[in-house]
Amino acid sequence: MNSGIEQFLALVKERRTSRGYLDKPVSREAIISILEAARWAPSAANTQPWEFIVISDPEIKIRIQQAFLNEAREHEDQRYRKVSEQQATLLLKPVLIAVCGRPASRERYVNTKELADRSQDELYLLSMGAMIQNMLLAATASGLDSTWIARLARIPQVAEILQLEKDLELVAFVAIGNSSQKLAASDGRRAPVLQRTYFNCYGKLY
Ligand SMILES: Cc1cc2nc3c(=O)[nH]c(=O)nc-3n(C[C@H](O)[C@H](O)[C@H](O)COP(=O)(O)O)c2cc1C
Protein backbone atom coordinates (compact mmCIF):
# COMPACT_ATOMS: atom_id res chain seq x y z
CA MET A 1 0.00 0.00 0.00
CA ASN A 2 1.40 3.37 -1.04
CA SER A 3 1.81 6.11 1.51
CA GLY A 4 -0.46 9.16 1.30
CA ILE A 5 2.19 11.33 -0.35
CA GLU A 6 3.09 8.65 -2.91
CA GLN A 7 -0.56 8.31 -3.85
CA PHE A 8 -0.93 12.05 -4.06
CA LEU A 9 2.17 12.50 -6.26
CA ALA A 10 0.97 9.68 -8.51
CA LEU A 11 -2.33 11.54 -8.94
CA VAL A 12 -0.58 14.85 -9.63
CA LYS A 13 1.60 13.21 -12.29
CA GLU A 14 -1.31 11.33 -13.82
CA ARG A 15 -3.15 14.57 -14.56
CA ARG A 16 -2.32 15.65 -18.09
CA THR A 17 -3.93 18.06 -20.49
CA SER A 18 -6.16 16.18 -22.90
CA ARG A 19 -6.12 17.38 -26.50
CA GLY A 20 -9.10 15.36 -27.73
CA TYR A 21 -12.09 13.53 -26.29
CA LEU A 22 -14.23 10.44 -26.86
CA ASP A 23 -17.97 10.82 -27.26
CA LYS A 24 -18.71 9.36 -23.83
CA PRO A 25 -21.06 10.94 -21.30
CA VAL A 26 -19.84 12.25 -17.96
CA SER A 27 -22.17 11.70 -15.00
CA ARG A 28 -23.67 14.59 -13.06
CA GLU A 29 -22.29 12.92 -9.91
CA ALA A 30 -18.72 13.18 -11.27
CA ILE A 31 -19.21 16.85 -12.15
CA ILE A 32 -20.58 17.57 -8.67
CA SER A 33 -17.49 15.91 -7.09
CA ILE A 34 -15.22 18.06 -9.24
CA LEU A 35 -17.11 21.18 -8.16
CA GLU A 36 -16.93 20.05 -4.54
CA ALA A 37 -13.12 19.95 -4.89
CA ALA A 38 -13.29 23.48 -6.34
CA ARG A 39 -15.34 24.64 -3.36
CA TRP A 40 -12.62 23.64 -0.91
CA ALA A 41 -9.82 25.52 -2.65
CA PRO A 42 -8.03 28.30 -0.79
CA SER A 43 -8.88 31.86 -1.84
CA ALA A 44 -7.55 35.26 -0.78
CA ALA A 45 -9.48 36.37 2.34
CA ASN A 46 -11.72 33.33 1.71
CA THR A 47 -13.56 35.37 -0.92
CA GLN A 48 -14.43 32.26 -3.02
CA PRO A 49 -14.82 34.51 -6.07
CA TRP A 50 -16.07 31.76 -8.39
CA GLU A 51 -19.27 30.52 -10.01
CA PHE A 52 -19.68 27.83 -12.64
CA ILE A 53 -21.77 27.06 -15.71
CA VAL A 54 -21.85 23.36 -16.62
CA ILE A 55 -22.42 23.04 -20.36
CA SER A 56 -23.50 19.81 -21.98
CA ASP A 57 -26.06 21.11 -24.52
CA PRO A 58 -24.59 20.29 -27.99
CA GLU A 59 -26.15 23.39 -29.55
CA ILE A 60 -24.55 25.72 -27.02
CA LYS A 61 -21.22 23.96 -27.51
CA ILE A 62 -21.46 24.44 -31.28
CA ARG A 63 -22.16 28.14 -30.79
CA ILE A 64 -19.16 28.44 -28.47
CA GLN A 65 -17.00 26.60 -30.99
CA GLN A 66 -18.15 28.95 -33.77
CA ALA A 67 -17.34 32.02 -31.66
CA PHE A 68 -13.92 30.53 -30.94
CA LEU A 69 -13.21 29.89 -34.63
CA ASN A 70 -14.53 33.30 -35.71
CA GLU A 71 -12.23 35.01 -33.25
CA ALA A 72 -9.27 32.94 -34.46
CA ARG A 73 -9.98 33.77 -38.12
CA GLU A 74 -9.69 37.47 -37.36
CA HIS A 75 -6.08 36.97 -36.26
CA GLU A 76 -3.22 37.73 -38.62
CA ASP A 77 -0.89 35.28 -36.92
CA GLN A 78 -1.14 31.98 -38.78
CA ARG A 79 0.13 29.95 -35.84
CA TYR A 80 -2.62 31.37 -33.60
CA ARG A 81 -5.23 30.40 -36.19
CA LYS A 82 -3.78 26.89 -36.56
CA VAL A 83 -3.61 26.21 -32.80
CA SER A 84 -7.16 27.56 -32.41
CA GLU A 85 -8.48 25.25 -35.12
CA GLN A 86 -6.86 22.28 -33.37
CA GLN A 87 -8.33 23.36 -30.03
CA ALA A 88 -11.78 23.89 -31.50
CA THR A 89 -12.00 20.17 -32.24
CA LEU A 90 -11.92 19.35 -28.55
CA LEU A 91 -14.85 21.53 -27.55
CA LEU A 92 -17.83 19.43 -28.58
CA LYS A 93 -17.46 16.06 -26.84
CA PRO A 94 -16.52 16.80 -23.23
CA VAL A 95 -18.62 18.61 -20.64
CA LEU A 96 -17.45 22.22 -20.62
CA ILE A 97 -17.35 24.06 -17.35
CA ALA A 98 -17.25 27.82 -17.73
CA VAL A 99 -15.31 29.06 -14.73
CA CYS A 100 -16.60 32.52 -13.86
CA GLY A 101 -15.10 35.00 -11.45
CA ARG A 102 -16.57 37.94 -9.59
CA PRO A 103 -14.02 40.76 -9.87
CA ALA A 104 -15.80 42.84 -7.21
CA SER A 105 -14.68 40.25 -4.64
CA ARG A 106 -11.39 42.21 -4.66
CA GLU A 107 -13.09 44.82 -2.50
CA ARG A 108 -13.29 42.33 0.37
CA TYR A 109 -9.57 41.90 1.05
CA VAL A 110 -8.58 43.11 4.50
CA ASN A 111 -6.29 45.82 3.10
CA THR A 112 -7.91 46.44 -0.29
CA LYS A 113 -7.56 50.23 -0.08
CA GLU A 114 -3.78 49.98 0.32
CA LEU A 115 -3.31 47.44 -2.45
CA ALA A 116 -2.38 48.45 -5.98
CA ASP A 117 -4.84 47.27 -8.65
CA ARG A 118 -2.25 44.81 -9.88
CA SER A 119 -1.92 43.22 -6.43
CA GLN A 120 -5.69 42.92 -6.16
CA ASP A 121 -5.83 41.31 -9.59
CA GLU A 122 -3.12 38.87 -8.57
CA LEU A 123 -4.92 37.79 -5.40
CA TYR A 124 -8.17 37.31 -7.31
CA LEU A 125 -6.66 35.39 -10.23
CA LEU A 126 -4.32 33.31 -8.08
CA SER A 127 -7.38 32.23 -6.06
CA MET A 128 -9.09 31.23 -9.30
CA GLY A 129 -6.00 29.29 -10.40
CA ALA A 130 -5.72 27.38 -7.13
CA MET A 131 -9.38 26.42 -7.45
CA ILE A 132 -9.02 25.29 -11.08
CA GLN A 133 -6.11 23.02 -10.15
CA ASN A 134 -8.37 21.37 -7.53
CA MET A 135 -10.90 20.74 -10.31
CA LEU A 136 -8.30 19.15 -12.59
CA LEU A 137 -6.99 16.86 -9.85
CA ALA A 138 -10.52 15.86 -8.87
CA ALA A 139 -11.20 14.94 -12.50
CA THR A 140 -8.11 12.72 -12.56
CA ALA A 141 -9.09 11.11 -9.25
CA SER A 142 -12.51 10.37 -10.80
CA GLY A 143 -10.88 8.55 -13.73
CA LEU A 144 -11.63 11.45 -16.09
CA ASP A 145 -9.47 13.71 -18.23
CA SER A 146 -9.47 17.46 -18.46
CA THR A 147 -8.25 20.51 -20.39
CA TRP A 148 -7.75 23.97 -18.95
CA ILE A 149 -8.75 26.30 -21.79
CA ALA A 150 -7.82 29.92 -21.27
CA ARG A 151 -8.44 31.41 -24.69
CA LEU A 152 -12.19 30.84 -24.81
CA ALA A 153 -12.71 33.04 -21.79
CA ARG A 154 -11.40 36.12 -23.60
CA ILE A 155 -14.03 36.06 -26.34
CA PRO A 156 -16.88 38.48 -25.54
CA GLN A 157 -19.34 36.54 -27.73
CA VAL A 158 -18.89 33.46 -25.52
CA ALA A 159 -20.04 35.45 -22.47
CA GLU A 160 -23.08 36.56 -24.50
CA ILE A 161 -23.94 32.99 -25.51
CA LEU A 162 -23.85 32.01 -21.83
CA GLN A 163 -25.94 35.04 -20.85
CA LEU A 164 -23.43 35.91 -18.19
CA GLU A 165 -24.58 38.56 -15.76
CA LYS A 166 -22.56 41.75 -15.92
CA ASP A 167 -20.83 41.40 -12.53
CA LEU A 168 -19.26 38.11 -13.55
CA GLU A 169 -16.45 37.45 -16.00
CA LEU A 170 -15.18 34.32 -17.70
CA VAL A 171 -11.78 33.35 -16.32
CA ALA A 172 -11.29 29.95 -17.94
CA PHE A 173 -13.01 26.89 -19.29
CA VAL A 174 -12.37 23.40 -18.00
CA ALA A 175 -13.26 20.56 -20.35
CA ILE A 176 -14.03 17.27 -18.59
CA GLY A 177 -14.38 13.92 -20.33
CA ASN A 178 -12.60 10.83 -21.53
CA SER A 179 -9.50 11.53 -23.55
CA SER A 180 -9.16 10.01 -26.99
CA GLN A 181 -5.36 10.00 -26.67
CA LYS A 182 -4.37 8.89 -23.20
CA LEU A 183 -1.13 10.61 -22.21
CA ALA A 184 1.16 8.78 -19.83
CA ALA A 185 2.26 10.57 -16.67
CA SER A 186 5.88 10.29 -17.82
CA ASP A 187 5.22 12.25 -21.05
CA GLY A 188 5.01 15.59 -19.24
CA ARG A 189 8.16 17.61 -19.81
CA ARG A 190 9.24 19.17 -16.52
CA ALA A 191 12.45 20.80 -15.35
CA PRO A 192 14.04 18.98 -12.35
CA VAL A 193 12.86 20.75 -9.19
CA LEU A 194 16.35 21.08 -7.71
CA GLN A 195 17.34 23.19 -10.73
CA ARG A 196 14.70 25.68 -9.62
CA THR A 197 15.16 25.55 -5.84
CA TYR A 198 17.69 27.36 -3.66
CA PHE A 199 18.61 27.21 -0.01
CA ASN A 200 18.15 30.21 2.29
CA CYS A 201 19.07 32.70 -0.44
CA TYR A 202 18.85 32.73 -4.22
CA GLY A 203 21.68 30.94 -6.03
CA LYS A 204 22.74 28.61 -3.19
CA LEU A 205 21.87 25.00 -4.08
CA TYR A 206 19.49 23.11 -1.88
C1 LIG B 1 -3.37 29.30 -17.22
C2 LIG B 1 -3.39 28.13 -18.17
C3 LIG B 1 -3.99 28.27 -19.40
C4 LIG B 1 -4.04 27.20 -20.30
N5 LIG B 1 -4.71 27.36 -21.47
C6 LIG B 1 -4.78 26.32 -22.33
C7 LIG B 1 -5.53 26.45 -23.53
O8 LIG B 1 -6.12 27.51 -23.82
N9 LIG B 1 -5.61 25.38 -24.35
C10 LIG B 1 -4.98 24.20 -24.05
O11 LIG B 1 -5.08 23.26 -24.84
N12 LIG B 1 -4.25 24.05 -22.93
C13 LIG B 1 -4.16 25.07 -22.06
N14 LIG B 1 -3.46 24.93 -20.88
C15 LIG B 1 -2.77 23.65 -20.60
C16 LIG B 1 -1.24 23.74 -20.80
O17 LIG B 1 -0.93 23.84 -22.18
C18 LIG B 1 -0.61 22.47 -20.19
O19 LIG B 1 -0.90 22.44 -18.81
C20 LIG B 1 0.90 22.42 -20.37
O21 LIG B 1 1.26 22.33 -21.72
C22 LIG B 1 1.55 21.23 -19.63
O23 LIG B 1 0.99 20.01 -20.08
P24 LIG B 1 0.23 19.02 -19.08
O25 LIG B 1 -0.92 19.76 -18.44
O26 LIG B 1 -0.24 17.87 -19.93
O27 LIG B 1 1.22 18.56 -18.04
C28 LIG B 1 -3.42 25.96 -19.96
C29 LIG B 1 -2.82 25.83 -18.70
C30 LIG B 1 -2.83 26.88 -17.81
C31 LIG B 1 -2.24 26.68 -16.42
81 lines ligand 1 (CB under 6 A): no
Cα distances from 174 to residues 21, 35, 50, 96, in angstroms, run 13, 11, 13, 6
Is a pLDDT exceeding 90 seen at residue 96?
yes
The answer to whether residue 186 is domain-embedded is no
| Amino acid sitting at position 31 | I
Ligand 1 centre to CA of 146 (Å) is 10
pLDDT band at 112 (very low <50, low <70, confident <90, very high): confident
137 lines ligand 1 (CB under 6 A): no
pLDDT band at 206 (very low <50, low <70, confident <90, very high): very high
* pLDDT given for residue 45 in this prediction: 95
CA 16 to ligand 1: nearest atom: 26
| Amino acid sitting at position 28 | R
18 lines ligand 1 (CB under 6 A): no
Total tally of structural domains belonging to the chain: 1
The answer to whether residue 198 is domain-embedded is no
- Cα diameter, the chain: 56
State the pTM of this model.
0.95
Is a pLDDT exceeding 60 seen at residue 31?
yes
The count of other CB atoms within 10 Å of the CB of residue 90 is 21
Q: Read off the CATH number of the domain in which 37 is found.
A: 3.40.109.10
The answer to whether residue 188 is domain-embedded is no
Residue nearest to atom 31 of ligand 1 (CA): 148
Residue nearest to atom 16 of ligand 1 (CA): 17
Segment 127-182, tens digit of pLDDT? 999 999 999 999 999 999 999 999 999 999 999 999 999 999 999 999 999 999 97
16 lines ligand 1 (CB under 6 A): yes
The answer to whether residue 162 is domain-embedded is yes
Residue nearest to atom 15 of ligand 1 (CA): 148
Domain of residue 55, residue span: 4-180
12 lines ligand 1 (CB under 6 A): no
Tell me the DSSP string of 121-158: HHHHHHHHHHHHHHHHHHHHHTT-EEEEE-GGGG-HHH
The answer to whether residue 204 is domain-embedded is no
Q: What angle do CA 140, 142, 148 make, to 5 degrees?
A: 40
pLDDT band at 183 (very low <50, low <70, confident <90, very high): confident
Ligand 1 mutation pick, 89, 148, 190, max ligand atoms within 8 A of CB: 148
Query: Taking the C-alpha atoms of 131, 35, 104 and 91 in order, what is their torsion angle to the nearest 10 degrees?
Result: 90
The answer to whether residue 20 is domain-embedded is yes
The answer to whether residue 190 is domain-embedded is no
The length of the chain, given as a count of residues: 206
